Structure 1
């Protein structure tokens, strides 16, 4: 049987963000979309996941999910067969980045979550491609169904995340770094840096899209993941 694939959504996203990839990739292998809203620390979420995921699996995370993926491979590298990171920042927050999260968390807790999403948060997550309006509507629906409390926990988890540079240098699994050319959340240069630190990692860039490439370019994302899943496990 083909190796199982675990997909980890990003902030304010659930299984719906992976709909196209799930439809295509599940023809050949078991695909699990794991929840990422079980706590307000990356370490806590990773511990919960390790207790229920398959013994060995391919792992793909986006944004917050990518940060969790790095913690999973730091803790249990023997269980991860291959790794894909989409829109992932391997560094911890700078003091300014951490401070910038506070007004958003305060706003969400004080009843301003929906207008914040519409006017500030979601426009930065989506690029200017032809699916922009559709992608923003999809993310708005997912975010509102998850709710303000989940958003605050996820912001806090990202604010507290560790620097994973030392983890990156130890990764030997076939690795894909997939970036949106116009990502405003994790700029392309940061993702290029991420790819440089992982031995033999392959960098893919989807043009004309932003942070949430699964919605903005579903076909390009699926093709990149399909190619990654077919890479040989022994790298030369």
Structure 2
């Protein structure tokens, strides 16, 4: 059996983000979704997770979850057997991005939580498909389940995150970079640059999807995960 697969969700999302993959892949491997909101900094979140994750595991994260995944690999390289980053980045916030998060935090605290969530993950970041409204409704429901306090905590963690480019350059495990061709938050060009930073990384763009390919084209993401799980681990 393949090593356990740990999935880390995007900010303000829970295990439902990976519902199709859990149903599909759990026939072949152990699958778990770990929370990424239990801490004020990415380093704290990663440290908390290491206490509960398997001894060795494959790790995939979307967006914010991908940033936590990089930190997990940095802290425990002997435990993370392979890494998948889905629409994510190793970069720190720019001053402009940090300022925008401040504005969203003010909105969330001022009773405009729905507006803040919409700005964080706008509808335009998803591909224009018949399922977009349904997916956005799920995103809003997941966010409402967490509430403004978690929104603020994750926004602060994003603002404080360190640049991890040096970390990903040193990776010597199977890495796959996955993104939707219509993702406006993490465009294809930026994903290509990320793949070039990592020795041996495989870039897999999923056509006709935006920032959440796990819901926009579940079969395509499951196929990408299977291909990544088959990549040989260097000895």
**Band of TM-score, shorter chain:** over 0.9
Q: Look up the SS of the partner of 2:122 in the other structure.
A: helix
Q: Number of residue pairs matched?
A: 235
| Residue correspondence of structure 1 range 176-215 to structure 2 within 5 A | 176-215=176-215
SS of structure 2 residue aligned to 1:82: strand
The reply on whether 1:70 has 2:70 as its aligned counterpart is yes
> Residue in 1 aligned with 2:20?
20
Residue in structure 2 matched with residue 145 of structure 1 by the alignment: 145
| Matching of residues 46-125 of structure 1 within 5 Å | 46-118=46-118, 121-125=121-125
TM-score using structure 1 length: 0.95
Q: 1:100 to 1:118 in 2, by over 3 A?
A: closer
CA contact (8 A) 1:6 1:34 kept: yes
Moved more, 210-219 or 6-15: 210-219
User: Are residues 118 and 234 of structure 1, via their aligned partners in 2, closer, same or farther at CA, if it must alter by over 3 Å?
Assistant: closer
Following TM superposition, by how much is the alpha carbon of 1:142 offset from its aligned partner in structure 2, in angstroms? Answer: 0.7
Q: Which runs of 5+ in 2 are unaligned?
A: none
Match in the other structure for 1:11: 11
The answer for the alignment partner of 1:217 in structure 2 is 217
State the distance in 1 between where 2:55 and 2:119 align. Answer: 42
CA distance, structure 2, for counterparts of residue 227 and residue 65 of structure 1 = 20
- Partners of 2:189 and 2:54 in 1: CA distance: 33
Alpha-carbon distance between aligned partners in 1 of 2:153 and 2:127, rounded to the nearest angstrom: 25
Q: What is the rounded CA distance, in whole Å, between the counterparts of 2:30 and 2:120 in structure 1?
A: 37
CA distance in 1, matches of 2:209, 2:105: 26
Partners of 1:100 and 1:150 lie apart in 2 by 17
Query: C-alpha separation between the residues in 1 aligned to 2:117 and 2:164?
Result: 29
Q: Check conservation: 2:107, 2:115, Cα contact below 8 A.
A: no
C-alpha separation between the residues in 2 aligned to 1:78 and 1:119?
37
Moved more, 7-16 or 185-194: 185-194
Shift of 1:218: 1.1
Deviates more, 1:51-60 or 1:204-213: 204-213
Q: Partners in 2 of 1:130 and 1:208 — Cα distance? A: 12
* TM-score, reference length from structure 2: 0.95
1-structure distance, mates of 2:119, 2:155: 18
Cα offsets for 1:178-215 (capped at 9, x unmatched): 01112122222221111101111000001222111111
Q: Which runs of 4+ in 1 moved over 6 A?
A: none
The SS at the match of 2:78 is helix
Instruction: Tell me the equivalent position of 1:231.
Output: 231
RMSD in angstroms over aligned alpha carbons? Answer: 1.5
